[in-house]
Amino acid sequence: MMENISHSLMSFIWNAASLILLLSIVVTIHEGGHFWVARKLGVKVLKFSIGFGKTIFSKTGRDGVEYVIAAIPLGGYVKMLDEREGEVSVQDRPYSFNQASVGKRIAIVAAGPLANFLLAIMVFWSAFMIGVPGVKPVLGEIKTGSIAQIAGLQSGEIIRSIQGEPVQTWMQVGLAFANFIGEKTSIDMEVEDPLSHTKKISRLQLTTKIGENAGESPLETLGIKVYLPQIRLGIGHVAENTPASRAGIKVDDLIVAFDGDDITYWPQLVQKLEKKAEQTVELTVLREGQLRRLKVRLGVGKNSAPQMGYLGIQPKIDEQYRQELDQLRVNLQYEPTEAFHQALIKTGKFFTLSIQTIRKILSRDVSAKNLSGPVGIAESAGNSLSVGLSQFLMFVGMISVSIGFLNLLPIPVLDGGHLFFYGIELVRGKPLSENIQEVGMKIGLVLILSLTIFALFNDISRVGM
């Protein structure tokens, strides 16, 4: 029990630290865009804050700007001299934000989202030069009666393109399928037989909209599982004071049967352990050429379903498994010019995907339960950072595009809301009344808070907090 709590605590700390690092990078660049353009256009900046709430660190620079790090790392802001927010001296009045031309105000506000898109390009570029690890898209088990089986797809085939778009990794496959979220259409998938190297195009005729069922991935909708080499049931480690050690199971034993049923691979053992917590089972093991039957009183599974049986063993990873795993690894690495080209393409794809996702959620073609809040983002940030620098950079780029896009939405309190008001001002020749803008800001604040709470509720429902 204490081990579970300790593991959960460490995981929480790692994910929280990863989220803070992620937001610090993205928010600093976003607010830095507002800051830099405001200074260049002659608007006086009073404060540059990363985070909200209580001040943790504050320093006033030689430029007269107060630089702040605040306690809640979920955003930031640039405070500019503005007559609507306080008294401004006569000599400073030309440098206040509200006295700037509408063109300058548009440039200052738009600079934040644009900085996010530039950040995305730079981190994608860096990641592609470093090399982004991935897994070759080899088809695993194809579910009987599924869309994939009807299309003629077979286990072991390698996906080469989706709707004409070349793919080399499962991540690219996921992004390609994301374009069809909320649609009931047909998708052409080109696959290659690894033995004959012959290629064919299979047409996936969707009978269910991708993303219609909350929490279901596109692969699950299609009836496809990712292929991974199977781990055999040789035992590499037996933990002390566990059901396995008490039953006499030893390192190098090979499990061949569970309650009389033959098993060969690790997933089969995991499946057998389901709903077997605190029950006595019989394991047949092969030891030094002899079969032995051992009675084992199972414990309760750690970090799993409450009824999962627990043995206390780890598999022995043999050379054959390592070789098969190495053959599935792919490293997407490009020389600088091509890496920059790929970074531009990736940024454009994420921006387009953001537009499509919002449109499909509003039209109810995609369940809004797919939205993630800070908990989901923290978990993803922690996972990507655990994999390596390039994967974390890719995630930073994705989040940066998302934040840049969301800030362009015409919702008051967001940059897009301000740009909407300034657009009206350009057309009318004068700004909207302060009362109308204030009402708009209140409505926008309610919308943003509601969306945040809803996304957080989705996180809680998803992880079972």
Please calculate the CA angle 13-305-311 and round it to the nearest 5 degrees: 95
Q: What is the pLDDT of residues 434-459, one digit of tens each?
A: 777 777 767 766 666 666 555 545 44
Is 301's pLDDT higher than 60? Answer: yes
In this prediction, what percent of the chain has a pLDDT beyond 90?
49
Query: Mean per-residue pLDDT for 223-249?
Result: 90
For the cut 70, the answer to whether the pLDDT of residue 109 exceeds it is yes
> 374 and 454 in contact (C-beta within 8 Å)?
no
Residue 413 tokens, joined: 């309190």
Closest by CA to 186, choosing from 159, 216, 162, 166, is 162
Helix ranges restricted to H, 140-242:
147-150, 170-178, 218-222
Q: Kindly state whether residues 222 and 249 are assigned to the same domain.
A: no
Let me know whether 217 and 288 are in one domain.
no
- Taken in order 153, 154, 159, 160, the sign of the CA dihedral is negative
Whether the pLDDT of residue 21 is over 90: the answer is no
| Predicted confidence (pLDDT) at residue 179 exceeds the cutoff of 80 | yes
Each residue's pLDDT tens digit, 388-408: 889 899 989 988 998 999 889
Do 213 and 299 fall within a single domain?
A: no
Report d(CA 50, CA 47) in Å as an integer.
10
Domain membership flag for residue 170 = yes
At which residue do the structure tokens 């009836």 appear?
223
Q: Is 110 helix (H, G, I), strand (E, B) or coil?
A: helix
In a shared domain, residues 242 and 183: no
Separation between Cα atoms, residue 195 and residue 51, nearest integer Å:
55
Look at residue 212 and tell me if it is in a domain.
yes
- Domain membership flag for residue 306: yes
Model pLDDT, residue 334 = 96
Contact 151, 221 (CB under 8 A): no
For residue 73, the one-letter residue type is: P
pLDDT reported for residue 459: 42
The closest alpha carbon to 350, from 405, 387, 301, belongs to 405
Query: Is the alpha carbon torsion for 197, 199, 205, 211 positive or negative?
Result: positive
Are both 289 and 358 inside the same structural domain? no
Residues, the chain: 465
pLDDT of residue 221: 87
For residue 347, what are its two tokens?
């940024």
215, pLDDT greater than 80? no
Q: Are 336 and 200 within one domain?
A: yes
CA distance 416 to 260: 65
Inside any domain, residue 109: no
With both helix axes pointing from N to C terminus, report the angle between 102-130 and 415-428 in degrees, rounded to the nearest 10.
140
457 vs 364, residue with greater confidence: 364
pLDDT at 414: 86
What is the tens place of the pLDDT at every residue in 34-93?
999 999 999 999 999 998 889 999 999 998 999 999 988 778 899 999 988 888 898 999
In a domain, 267, yes or no: yes
Active site residue 220: no
Tokens standing for residue 275: 């709903």
Structural domain tally of the chain? 2
Question: Which DSSP symbol is given to 162?
Answer: E
Is 121 among the domain residues? no
Same domain, residue pair 154 and 203: yes
Catalytic residue among 31, 157, 190, 379: 31
- Please report whether residue 5 resides in a domain: no
Q: What is the pLDDT of residue 448?
A: 60
Q: Are residues 140 and 266 located together in one domain of the fold?
A: no
Do 273 and 138 belong together in one domain?
no
- pLDDT over threshold 70, residue 119: yes
- Tell whether 345 and 281 lie within a shared domain: no
Average pLDDT for 351-369: 74
Looking at the fold, whether 198 and 239 belong to one and the same domain comes out as no
Residue 371 has pLDDT above 60, yes or no: no
Q: Would you state the pLDDT for residue 257?
A: 94
**CATH code, domain with 298:** 2.30.42.10
Say which residue, 361 or 26, is predicted with more confidence. 26
Question: Does residue 266 form part of some domain?
Answer: yes
Asked whether residue 213 falls in the same domain as residue 249, the answer is no
Per-residue pLDDT, averaged over 196-207, amounts to 93
3-state secondary structure of 138: strand
Residue 310, domain extent: 235-316
DSSP class of residue 297 equals: E
Out of 354, 372, 390, a domain closes at: 372
Q: What is the pTM of this model?
A: 0.79
Residue 303: which pLDDT band, with cuts at 50, 70 and 90?
low
